[in-house]
Structure 1
Amino acid sequence: MNLLYSKQPTQRQLVIASSIQQVVSKAFVTQEIYHPNLEDTMMVFPFVKITADLKIATIYVDCLNKDKVKGVLEILKSLTVEIRKLIANKLKLKYTPEIRFVEDTITQKQSNLLRLIDNIS
């Protein structure tokens, strides 16, 4: 079972989620989307989850400096309109999904679980 989805996602959901992840990641690396307060912040977008109707994309965010995550989320939320326009231009979807940003806790849970399994072995 996939940790992000309650039901198995369709191939289309997976492709669109992956495409959104690539567009958003590349936009910050190439500074297509820029915010001065994010200049020295190392952030990654490990997962994107999209609803079955393809109308809402949840982008998971993680930062190297865990203390900055809340501030980064606020900045990303303020950039949502710009990010959505970029996704619309790059992906040419019939409907561009609403974008939401949340802190990635899934990766941390997976790491903790793997550590526990290693300790048992």
Structure 2
Amino acid sequence: MRKPTESAGPTQRQQRVAELVRHAIAEVLSRGDLQDPVLSRHVITVPEVRMSPDLKLATAYVMPLGGEDEQPVIEALERNRKVLRQEVARRVNLKFAPDLRFRRDETFDEAARIDRLLRSDKVQRDLGPDRDSGE
């Protein structure tokens, strides 16, 4: 039997558990179950959670709506990590509740960077009408 390599990406089980954990965290945050003044002032999206291969660590990528106060929000999530972990354990049926860590979601920044590249003069020149006509 072949061992999966790190470059093979997450297993189906990792992806399934990550999605369950993502839903659990998002539900706790949307319901306002945490009594934290920073978190209560923000709508927080959780676009992705990645699980370690042993399913004992969940890295949640988060972004406050509008991208405001990112660092205070992540710090507040870290402060409330224990309560969030308990809530995830209650909602997701796993042998062990995963440790949680929170990171800023950078996919919006990456999308904006790609968009800027595609709109750059150099790329537009390469995509211009002369290229299609074969001249």
TM-score, normalised to structure 2, is 0.77
Is 1:12 aligned with 2:13? yes
Structure 2 equivalent of residue 94 of structure 1: 95
Instruction: Kindly indicate whether structure 1 or structure 2 has the higher relative contact order, using CA contacts under 8 Å at least 6 residues apart.
Output: 1
Per the TM alignment, residue 65 of structure 1 is displaced from its structure 2 partner at its CA by 4.0
Structure 1 equivalent of residue 24 of structure 2: 23
**Structure 2, unpaired ranges of 5+:** 1-5, 128-135
Greater Rg by CA: 2
What are the within-5 Å matches in structure 2 for residues 24-63 of structure 1?
24-63=25-64
The alignment's C-alpha RMSD in Å is 1.9
**Structure 1, unpaired ranges of 5+:** none
TM-score, normalised to structure 1, is 0.85
Structure 2 equivalent of residue 80 of structure 1: 81
- Which amino acid is the alignment partner of residue 31 of structure 1? G
Judge conservation of contact 2:38–2:72 (CA < 8 Å) in 1: no
Q: Provide the rounded CA distance (Å) in 2 between the counterparts of 1:51 and 1:76.
A: 19
Per the TM alignment, residue 45 of structure 1 is displaced from its structure 2 partner at its CA by 0.8
Identity of aligned residues (%): 27
Q: Provide the rounded CA distance (Å) in 2 between the counterparts of 1:62 and 1:6.
A: 27
Q: Provide the rounded CA distance (Å) in 2 between the counterparts of 1:48 and 1:66.
A: 18
